[in-house]
Structure 1
Amino acid sequence: MYLSFLLIICYNLPLLLRACPIYLTISLESKTLQDANLEINWGPECHDHPEWIGIFNEDPSTAYVHPEARITDINNSSGKVLTNVNVGKLRFPFGWNINDINTVPIEYPKGKCLPYYVASFNGSELLTVECLKIQPNWMSKLEHIAQMPLKDIFIPGTHASGAYINNSAKTKSVLVKDYVVAQQFDVWSQLVFGIRYLDFSIGFDKIVDVYDTSIGDNFYIVNENKFVQPLRNVLKDVRRFVKLSHEVVILDFSCFPIGFYKHPERHSNLLHLLHEEIGDVVYIRNTSTTEGSKQCFELTIDEIRKNNKYIIILYPVQELPYPESESKMLCPNWKRFSTAFMNTSQVLDYMRLLFSKKDTSPVQNEGWVFQATRSMEQSLNNNKLEKAKERAAILNPKVSSWLKGPWSLTANVVALDYFSNTNIIDVAIYANMHKAFNMANKNFINFEIVSN
């Protein structure tokens, strides 16, 4: 008699993937971040409904605290409820705030909760706890992920990453506030939360201070054909973050809508600015080695960080004149797919095509970017000019929910407007845990037990 056993290593699923998943997001209904309220989310696949869900300012699993908000009558498999709990002035742990200069912050391999917790209960029995958290070290600390090529990692990103305003009270333009701004958080905060792909559209501003001799200060981040942020300041924030965290970050210079047409020398000047501000932490391709002959999306995190390099720059190198077009610090742009001009049902069909990776899919064994965005022009098809926040509030929950199934295992870069209205970073981390586990345990042991 022969009995065959498969030895399979199992790991505990994160709390978010068991029971009824719950999580917090930040509402897009307010004018400013400080005025924004928290949203309670549950699902998908929430079939064993809790009796109630509450928001707390301390961890309810370690201390008895009264809920700041409480919802009941949870009957659907998924849902979102806006609460009256205000975000207020959000502070990160010491060292991770943008103004915490000359400090070495504590590392948080598994994330660090901010004082916003959400928990589900049956009566007084605690079922699950989650929190609004920062994830400044997730990529460098996630087991086995450093041996995976970039094309196989689910990389959470933002679209129009630099399209934010630091002080809305000083920004008088309604057009900028309602239609140009695409993120609630600045680039530094996006990275601290866990974003690892940044999308930049760049414009060249001919008007400069007569006392400023640096041409690098002509370059601005642009959205909807409006100048939003000086590029130099954003690059400084990115460099400081990767030096502190040792995380790999992808900068995608996706388009150049203002001031670059028939001006290749401006691309050369931009390349000089990149050398100046982040050149010491950008991965440099060594084409004389096996590693250097790889496409950038084939590189692993270990290979990128080998010489204390952390940034990958994607750039349309064909726009640069020779010899800058052969710069070893630039990688050709990855394939990019956008939902900007699609309605919701079309987005679902498009995702089904892309994420299936079947022979008919335009995505195969390569690096690619999925931009889940909705353009102003598309909103006009509904006979209403929707604001940027309104468009994101419609699309983001749908895309985030669809990615929680098998598609998360085939995702590469997913970039969103107003990412803080989703839990895309947690979804990516859990998917990468699964991918890395499978990669590290490709071979299982098959024991045959023989009995007479």
Structure 2
Amino acid sequence: MEIGSLMLIGAHDAAAYRDYQGVGDDNLVTSATFAQEETLLGQLLWGVRFLDIRIGYYPTTEEKFWLVHGIIKAHPLKEGIEAVQQFLRISRDIMVWEINTFEQNWTDDAHKELHDLLVSEFYPWLVVPLGIGWDTTLADIWNRVTLPEDEGRIIITYNERHTDDVYFFPEVTERWGNVDEPGDLKSYLEQQVGLAEENPAAYSPWKPNCQLTPTAEDIIGGRWSGLREMAAAVNRNVTLWWREDWPSLKSTFPIHDFVLSTNMIQEGIRRNLNMAKKLKPQN
């Protein structure tokens, strides 16, 4: 099996995490900022294998690189790196660290510094694309002699022109509906799944955003109380859509707010095992 053929379940804005503190967190800023409760380590331990990461560059602060949601600093980047390193030391699983967006004003030197930092910190587990990227087989990834036999593997995508195809995999095709109603999200995903089935080469793999997106009016006007309520409105149904309506679609890395309120991790495991059973043994 190729890594790009799997269903890997992702956390949208994975680094915008905060343990819910009760009604005190139901203010406009907090409710619209934090999209997960579990730390990056917690998400990985539960089974998330695709981390949608956003990084901000703040050269005038002691910590230059921050995990962010928009302009809001969530955690220092080093905290996220250490959490993922901890997971890689105790697991043989393959995970994806996607840098989706770069907030604030970035310079060429800032990109080089981040590039060097990521390669240095993750090099012991880093899967390099070797020109084939998402067509790399799981066997190849696990059997690379340059990587530790009994530890994890990380794939990094750098979604910006400063990427380096020696170290980083190609960007995953993203599809985002930018809608704030459950019915509109279902309709958008149906449309995109149809396109993926018609043109698999352009969607191998692809990343459907399975979360609602609030407008400023939604939050300020009280139509939605925040990301938590919006996730509750769709997450109870989203697994059903993938299991019942699109049961065999592969090459899919769906991402979710408050991912553990879906059952998508179990759905991904089920689907990957079924795909594996259909493969013919190689001589």
**Number of aligned residue pairs:** 272
Residues 10 and 48 of structure 2 are in contact (CA less than 8 Å); yes or no, is this contact kept in structure 1? yes
Q: Measure how far apart 1:337 and its partner are.
A: 0.8
Residues 197 and 249 of structure 2 are in contact (CA less than 8 Å); yes or no, is this contact kept in structure 1? no
- Distance in 1 between the 2:184 and 2:27 partners? 30
- Per-residue CA shift, 1:74-97, capped at 9, x if unaligned? xxxxxxxxxxxxxxxxxxxxxxxx
* CA spacing shift, 1:168–1:422, aligned 2, 3 Å: same
- Distance in 2 between the 1:391 and 1:420 partners? 14
The structure with the largest helix share of the pair is 2
**Equivalent of 1:344 in 157, 175, 182:** 182
User: Where do 5+ consecutive residues of structure 2 fail to align?
Assistant: none
* CA spacing shift, 1:342–1:438, aligned 2, 3 Å: farther
- Per-residue CA shift, 1:401-447, capped at 9, x if unaligned? 101125142141011000111111111111111111112479xxxxx
- Distance in 1 between the 2:216 and 2:28 partners? 17
Note the 1:281-296 alignment, pairs <5 A.
281-285=125-129, 292-294=130-132, 296=133
Q: Does 1:395 align with 2:243?
A: no
Q: Which runs of 4+ in 1 moved over 6 A?
A: none
* CA spacing shift, 1:354–1:239, aligned 2, 3 Å: same
Residues 98 and 159 of structure 2 are in contact (CA less than 8 Å); yes or no, is this contact kept in structure 1? no
Q: Measure how far apart 1:167 and its partner are.
A: 7.9
**What does residue 157 of structure 1 align with?**
10
Q: Which secondary structure state, in structure 2, belongs to the residue aligned with residue 405 of structure 1?
A: helix
- Distance in 2 between the 1:439 and 1:362 partners? 18
**What does residue 121 of structure 2 align with?**
277
Note the 1:122-141 alignment, pairs <5 A.
none
The aligned amino acid for 1:179 is: A
- Distance in 2 between the 1:393 and 1:166 partners? 16
**What does residue 92 of structure 2 align with?**
246
**What does residue 311 of structure 1 align with?**
154
- Distance in 2 between the 1:173 and 1:225 partners? 19
- Per-residue CA shift, 1:148-180, capped at 9, x if unaligned? 1122111111000011125849x9893443111
- Greater shift, 300-309 or 272-281, is seen at 300-309
- Distance in 2 between the 1:441 and 1:343 partners? 45
Residues 185 and 212 of structure 2 are in contact (CA less than 8 Å); yes or no, is this contact kept in structure 1? no
The aligned amino acid for 1:399 is: V
Q: Which secondary structure state, in structure 2, belongs to the residue aligned with residue 425 of structure 1?
A: helix
The structure with the largest strand share of the pair is 1
TM (normalized to structure 1)?
0.56
- Per-residue CA shift, 1:179-211, capped at 9, x if unaligned? 1111011110110011100001110123323xx
**Equivalent of 2:265 in 425, 433, 436:** 425
Q: Measure how far apart 1:342 and its partner are.
A: 5.1
Residues 197 and 249 of structure 1 are in contact (CA less than 8 Å); yes or no, is this contact kept in structure 2? yes
Q: Which secondary structure state, in structure 1, belongs to the residue aligned with residue 246 of structure 2?
A: helix
The aligned amino acid for 1:183 is: Q
- Distance in 2 between the 1:346 and 1:441 partners? 42
- Distance in 1 between the 2:243 and 2:165 partners? 38
Q: Does 1:434 align with 2:274?
A: yes
Q: Measure how far apart 1:365 and its partner are.
A: 5.4
* CA spacing shift, 1:167–1:388, aligned 2, 3 Å: closer
- Distance in 1 between the 2:155 and 2:109 partners? 22
- Distance in 1 between the 2:222 and 2:29 partners? 21
Residues 235 and 262 of structure 2 are in contact (CA less than 8 Å); yes or no, is this contact kept in structure 1? yes
Highest RCO, 1 vs 2 (Cα 8 Å, sep ≥ 6): 2
**What does residue 137 of structure 2 align with?**
300
**What does residue 230 of structure 1 align with?**
76
Note the 1:205-224 alignment, pairs <5 A.
205-209=58-62, 217-224=63-70
Residues 236 and 278 of structure 1 are in contact (CA less than 8 Å); yes or no, is this contact kept in structure 2? no
